[in-house]
Structures are given as C-alpha cells and as structure tokens.
Amino acid sequence: MMHARRAVPVGRSGPKHVTCPVCGYAFRASHVGTYVTVGRESDFCPKIPGRPSDGARLIRNGVTMCPACSFAAGEDFGDLYLSFDERYDAEARLEEDGLLRVFRSNSPPWLAFHAAEICGKARGFRSRELGDLCLRASWVCRKERERPFESTFQLRAVRHFLRSLQDENLVGRELSVTAYLVGELNRRLGNHREALNWYVNAGRTTEGDPRVAWLDRLIDRQTKLAEEQAA
Ligand SMILES: [Zn+2]
C-alpha cells in the first residue's frame, strides 16, 4: 500500500563531488535523496523495506565522511564553514580517537556517526544534537546486528540527552521526546526502573497537549512493557 509509505527527504539528491572542509581531500560522496519508511520502532528507528543491512546503509548515508581524515557531518560539505579553531579541534580529536584508529580501515556503517559526534563536539554542537547522532548510530548497529555497539551508542545517547535536559532549556515537543527517549533507551539497556521514572517525567511534560497525543500513547504502551520486563 503506497499511501502507508513515506519518503523521508534528507536534503540532498544525486551523486556529488565534495571537498573535505578539514583536509581538502576531494571525493565522490555516496548518498540518497530520499528513502521509503514503513513506520518507526519505539526508539524512532525507521522501518525500511528490504534487508536490514540495506536500511542501515540508507540511514548511514545521512552523514558524509571524508575517506582521508574521517571528518564527518550531516550537512552538505559545500554548505559548511569551519573556523580555524573548529578545524584544528576537529583534526586533533579525529587523530586521537581510538575507535577510529581501530575501525577506519574497514569502516563499519556506524563509524560515520561516531566521527560526526567527534566533529560535532569540535563544532560546539548542543548535547541534544550529539545525542541524536549517537541514537542514529545505535539504529545502524541494530540493523547490522552489532549488539555491543548498539548498547554503547544507546548509553552515549542517554548521557548526551541527560546533559541536554539539564542544561539546554528544551521546551515543547523536543523536551517531551528527549525525556521519553531517556526512558526508552534505558528500557532497551535493561534499566527498567530508570525507564519507568523517565516515562513518568516525559508524561508530565506533555500536559495533555493534543499535538503530542501520539507520544502519550507511546509512553503508555512502553510503560506497560517496562513494568512487565521489570517484574
Ligand atoms: Zn578530510
């Protein structure tokens, strides 16, 4: 049924030659303009028709990574301007990173998100955005059946989201969704009590707003699930 499917624009289309804003290396970025989803899982991971590894690749293509220095970003490289300090900081962080050193040569699909998180720190991203990159890395790991890495990125996402809830004055939908995700990721990590507390917190933030009624329903459903799992 085509109407149940939704094309998710990622803001770019067609193959393209790009130049790395950090090291100047020119390469052809592989990416997709749109992909089709058939709903989302309870941590908002898109369900994509076909093999899970194909889905992982489509999600992964939301980030461009330089094959020479591993600079990575969700934005089009052509639209990026990095200050001298940001460039210097990104370069240093990428060089020092242990995971990149180990995995650079075989470049698993989650690596681009990891690199984008490192570069996001150098570029002064908000914790909310860093958490989102880690969340997307965990989706890719799940589709690739990389369980330990999935948990690693879920945990990192939780830490960024908690910092965001504490420091970044989130409001409205973003506040509710972030609090919910702290609960949901804790549930997936096996911390059921913690999950239940955060579902309650998330429910308080929606205050019966009809625009987030879908989230209230999701919170109810996942609360029941966490209660069963905690028992
Ligand atoms: Zn580069």
Secondary structure (DSSP) of the chain: -GGG-EEEE-S--S-EEEE-TTT--EEEEP--SEEEE--B-TT-PBP-SS-HHHHHHHHHTTSEE-TTT--EESS-GGG----HHHHHHHHHHHHH-HHHHHHTTT--TTHHHHHHHHHHHHTT--HHHHHHHHHHHHHHHHHTT-HHHHHHHHHHHHHHHHHHHHHS---HHHHHHHHHHHHHHHHHTT-HHHHHHHHHHHHHHHTT-GGGHHHHHHHHHHHHHHHHHH-
Residues of the chain where predicted confidence (pLDDT) is lower than 70:
1-15, 31-33
Dist. CA 69 → ligand 1 center (Å) = 4
Dist. CA 29 → ligand 1 center (Å) = 12
- pLDDT at residue number 165: 98
Dist. CA 87 → ligand 1 center (Å) = 10
Dist. CA 50 → ligand 1 center (Å) = 32
Cα–Cα distance, 27 to 130 (Å, whole number): 25
- Quote the percentage of the chain above a pLDDT of 90: 80
Dist. CA 125 → ligand 1 center (Å) = 19
Instruction: Identify whether the C-beta of residue 123 lies closer than 8 Å to the C-beta of residue 90.
Output: yes
pTM for the model = 0.91
Dist. CA 66 → ligand 1 center (Å) = 5
Dist. CA 27 → ligand 1 center (Å) = 9
- pLDDT at residue number 7: 52
- pLDDT at residue number 5: 52
Instruction: Identify whether the C-beta of residue 118 lies closer than 8 Å to the C-beta of residue 156.
Output: no
- pLDDT at residue number 3: 43
Dist. CA 226 → ligand 1 center (Å) = 43
Dist. CA 72 → ligand 1 center (Å) = 8
Using CB atoms within 10 Å of the CB of residue 23, give its burial: 0 to 12 exposed, 13 to 18 middle, 19+ buried.
middle
- pLDDT at residue number 33: 60
Dist. CA 20 → ligand 1 center (Å) = 5
